[in-house]
Amino acid sequence: MPTSKKTTATRREELLATAAEVFAEHGYRATTVRRIADEAGMLAGSLYYHFDSKESMLDEILTGFLDDLWARYDAVLAAGHGPRETVTALVTESFREIDRHRPAVALYQRESAHLAGNPRFAYLADSRRRFEEMWLGVLRRGVADRAFRADLDTRLAYRFLRDTVWVAASWYRPGGTHSAEEIARQYLSMVLDGIAPRP
């Protein structure tokens, strides 16, 4: 029996990965269960053996991504690094998450506003608030500790970091020219040290 359970669990993961790719490419509303089933090489009715609805698939994709993201962020915050090191670690983990969950990240960005009114997805707004509070806390601590400039507008800095990092999901492809860590290193160099040569 353990083998069949493992096979079922593996098949669910494969189907979720397929659904995430299809949702990310075509949009959640435009994607039908039949399209997902076709991409997975199965009959649409067979998909309901694993999931009771398209919405359930979307829910599992998003919660899987966010649970993984927050586990890694929480580990960074628990490490007790200084503000600059914390920013470095958070940005690096963000790019690693884009590498691991690129379709889910794209889906999250594309669908979050549309899903805001659905009680089932209330956790998306909670996660956004938590994300903002985390970043603002780190940046304000950096200003207070003089790790960052005294005149830094922390809210603008947060928005800049958020947008420049997560928009990478629209173009990043795993196995490309640069690894997630290398892209993070380049981004951090520009954010923390600027692009002008040092005098």
Question: Rounded CA gap, 92 and 98, in Å?
Answer: 10
Q: Which residues of 49-86 are buried (b: 16+ CB within 10 A; e: fewer)?
A: ebbeebeebbbbbbeebbebbeebbeebbeeeeebeeb
Give dist(CA 172, CA 155) in Å, integer.
Answer: 26
pLDDT at position 132 is 97
Structure tokens at 59: 């829910």
Contact (Cβ atoms closer than 8 angstroms) between residue 12 and residue 50: yes
| Cα–Cα distance for residue pair 78/74, rounded to 1 Å | 6
CATH number of 59-193: 1.10.357.10
Q: What is the pLDDT of residues 32-80, one digit of tens each?
A: 999 999 999 998 888 888 999 999 999 999 999 999 999 999 999 999 9
Q: Where are the domains of the chain?
A: 1-52, 59-193
- Would you place residue 98 in the very low, low, confident or very high pLDDT band (cuts 50, 70, 90)? very high
For the cut 50, the answer to whether the pLDDT of residue 1 exceeds it is no
Query: What digits encode the pLDDT tens for the residues 104-153?
Result: 999 999 888 888 889 999 999 999 999 999 999 999 999 999 999 999 99
Residue 20 and residue 107: Cα distance in Å, rounded?
Answer: 7
Which is the CATH superfamily of the domain at 1-52? Homeodomain-like (1.10.10.60)
d(CA 96, CA 76): 13
